[in-house]
Structure 1
Amino acid sequence: MSKGIRVIYDGECPLCQSFVRRMRLERSCGPIELIDARTDLALVSELKARGMSLDDGIVACIQDECVHADEALTRLALLSTRRDSFNRLMHWTFSRPKLARLIYPLMRVGRSSLLWLMRRERISR
């Protein structure tokens, strides 16, 4: 993995797309590399081998450390700006690791249900 911040997400999920666009990490952290997991299957395989399935959650790589799912959202929430209501809500919710661990499974179910309704395949086939 490279230095800086990389966010690997499901580019076919409208919820994931909206989330990464609205976090506005660039304002507080500088350039962020957003990677659609569906376009980089080698990276998806590498992360899966490390126990981070993109079907189960977003991945954030900050410097050389990659974190997954609720922990990724916690890290991103702590880095994001709190200039608008969305980012304030994300910070308030996900900067608390225990709350993030409680909420994240519900978000994952919502995402899976939405992708099923949209007839989208899982990333890891």
Structure 2
Amino acid sequence: MNNTKQLVLVYDKECPACDNYCRLVRIRADIGELVLWDAREPGPIMDEITALGWDIDQGMVLKLEQQLYYGSDAIHMLSLLSSRSGVFNRLNYWLFKSKRLSHWLYPLLRSLRNLLLKILGKTKINNLGLSNNHRF
């Protein structure tokens, strides 16, 4: 019997930092398979995130079975589920295994992401339909 689960990680694929992070993070094989979902693509998972009132521009979302984790909680949970193989995954674990440190670091990383998108001329996803004064 196979007890592995499918985990879905929803993030902005057009953000190079987000894309690299999501492609490098490895989930332990006994946990399940990590599926990457581009938040710019419509679908049931984006409908679910939007219905919760979560602004995908303010945080990635990890879905594990029926439980959703947003922003710093998502990156914290990813660190706990990740393998410890390779330098990146060990560093990811040590940085984000603490919920307190994750809550402190995540807003800084989000600000750097927003700056990077602005420099690259990319628009926000705007899944909540926020007015233009909430854009860059």
Taking structure 2 as the reference length, what is the TM-score of the superposition?
0.83
- Distance (whole Å) between structure 2 residues aligned to residue 104 and residue 32 of structure 1: 21
Question: For structure 1, which segment, 26-35 or 12-21, has the greater mean C-alpha deviation from structure 2 after superposition?
Answer: 26-35
Unaligned runs of 5+ in 1: none
Q: What is the match of residue 92 of structure 1?
A: 94
More helix by share: 1
What percent of counterpart residues are identical? 33
> Compared with structure 1, are the counterparts of its residues 106 and 121 closer, same or farther at alpha carbon in structure 2 (3 Å cutoff)?
same
Taking structure 1 as the reference length, what is the TM-score of the superposition?
0.90
Over alpha carbons, which structure has the higher Rg?
2
Q: What is the match of residue 15 of structure 2?
A: 13
> Compared with structure 1, are the counterparts of its residues 28 and 9 closer, same or farther at alpha carbon in structure 2 (3 Å cutoff)?
farther
- Distance (whole Å) between structure 2 residues aligned to residue 100 and residue 44 of structure 1: 24
Pairwise CA distance, 1:84: 1.0
Unaligned runs of 5+ in 2: 130-136
- Distance (whole Å) between structure 2 residues aligned to residue 92 and residue 9 of structure 1: 22
Decide whether the 8 Å contact of 1:52 with 1:59 is kept in 2.
no
Pairwise CA distance, 1:32: 1.8
Listed one character per residue, the Cα deviations across residues 26-74 of structure 1 (whole Å, up to 9, x for unaligned) are: 6453322210001126643431221321100110001100010000001
- Distance (whole Å) between structure 1 residues aligned to residue 55 and residue 45 of structure 2: 11
Which 4+ stretches in 1 moved above 6 angstroms?
none
- Distance (whole Å) between structure 1 residues aligned to residue 19 and residue 82 of structure 2: 16
Secondary structure of the corresponding residue to residue 62 of structure 2? strand
Q: What is the match of residue 111 of structure 2?
A: 109
Alignment of 1:1-125 (within 5 A): 4-25=6-27, 27-40=29-42, 43-124=45-126, 125=129
Decide whether the 8 Å contact of 2:28 with 2:81 is kept in 1.
no
- Distance (whole Å) between structure 1 residues aligned to residue 56 and residue 108 of structure 2: 16
Question: For structure 1, which segment, 79-88 or 43-52, has the greater mean C-alpha deviation from structure 2 after superposition?
Answer: 43-52
- Distance (whole Å) between structure 2 residues aligned to residue 43 and residue 6 of structure 1: 9
- Distance (whole Å) between structure 2 residues aligned to residue 113 and residue 59 of structure 1: 20
